[in-house]
Structure 1
Amino acid sequence: MTQVSELPNITRLLEIMARLRDPESGCPWDQKQTFKTIVPHTIEEAYEVADAIEYGTPSDVKDELGDLLFQVVFYAQLGQEQNLFDLEDIAEQISDKLIRRHPHVFDQAASPTDEQLHQQWEDIKRREREAKGDIDDSVLATIPTGMAPLNKATKIQKLCAKVGFDWSAPAPVIEKIKEEIDEVVAELDKDTINQQAVEEEIGDLLFAVVNLSRHLQVNPDIALRKANHKFTTRFRALETMMKSDNKSPEQASLEEMESYWLRVKAKE
């Protein structure tokens, strides 16, 4: 048998995947996975790629892209086992799609403007849906069901804005945010708090904040990831500072932790 280390790298990766899934000699964890069970890992790996690009080195990016590529290979192995598709089929389909969606590159058509390019993209995707028998003609028909919530809210708002259902400036969006905050407070002021109603109002508030992000040309997902990173960095610095004083967050009051937090910010 050819040693895995002697194979070309893509072939090598496919062989490694096949061995991991081998019913008799494979890895117990890999053997029991399905399309559905590895989805959370795929999403996590995609975010780790984004984090590596934002905060890591080129080596980190390469490493995380490898992890993401392994996810695609895993799906290809599952598809091959069920006689559905393999990696070659996946590569063929995306190649055909890219050529079909870029006639201005591959058919030597006239170079379109940005607006014409976007309309061409939407027209091609609409024809693809029609060819599949998808007759949903809603403005929102192209939105994936499982899209991450922040990105999905942005996509919904962008598509609605294209048909004129949108504010023309940030000011009324800010007023909408204030209105949504008032509605959250109103729910909390009731004698009996309805948790479902509070959840709904918080959702409306988040949706309005995403709308403001869009109007200010800020990607809310990226903004929140950066805020998470900033908070994590500061809290770790707080822990280090407290440890040097022989203290810990578990033993400190909120007021004490707040004073350390302000010290961390002051050092920045």
Structure 2
Amino acid sequence: MSAASPQLHGLPPGAFSCFVTGTDTEIGKTLVSAALLHILALRGVRVAAMKPIAAGAEWRDGAWHNDDADMLAASAHVQLPQAITTPYLFQTPAAPHIAAELEHTAIDPAHILHCFDQVRAQSDAVVVEGVGGFRVPLTHTFDTADLAQQIALPVVLVVGMRLGCISQALLTVEAIQARGLSLMGWVANVVDANMSHVDANIQALTQRIKAPMLGHIPRLTTPSAVQAARFIHHD
């Protein structure tokens, strides 16, 4: 594979499902997930969204809301109950295992998988967004990498473009491959508007990541699924 070839590929045609992970927290997983949902909906795919664990919720309009989960729900074609799309919604903005302990809740991986099966049964495609980076603890013995492995969908990696992203991205790719998962591709998302040498960093990543680069999202003034989708390669 040549150094430039990953840039020549786009998303798979038609309907596809994927698990979206990232190099860290707050690097654009939700934005990319929403963009993928928007693209699939434009293709006429009955696509559903799932964010199994969300931490940081507030009470609005008679219900608990998480901004990330709400953005995904708004971008999905198939609307399903939050009880199955986000089975674990915590008020505390903290790592899931910490939030769960503080709120006297035990995260049960089997319940997440049961909810995923329900979501998949009611749609033609599912975009599942992980929480934080690829190896965030969910319990004392189970993390998001374990969850991705059990869900067994192709993975889309969101690389937050900022200083240090090359090492973070390559380590995450190694972790994904170590779980026997397929890396569908990766998206460069600019999180630091003042980052120097963005193009050089992207070139270094395309030379080292043996999977398609699916897009390069600049720093958006008003981030939205529609805006982000413009920068992801698709038909």
Same fold, TM-score > 0.5, yes or no: no
Structure with the larger strand share:
2
Structure with the larger helix share:
1
Normalising by the smaller structure, the TM-score range is: under 0.3
TM-score of the pair, normalised by structure 2: 0.27
TM-score of the pair, normalised by structure 1: 0.24
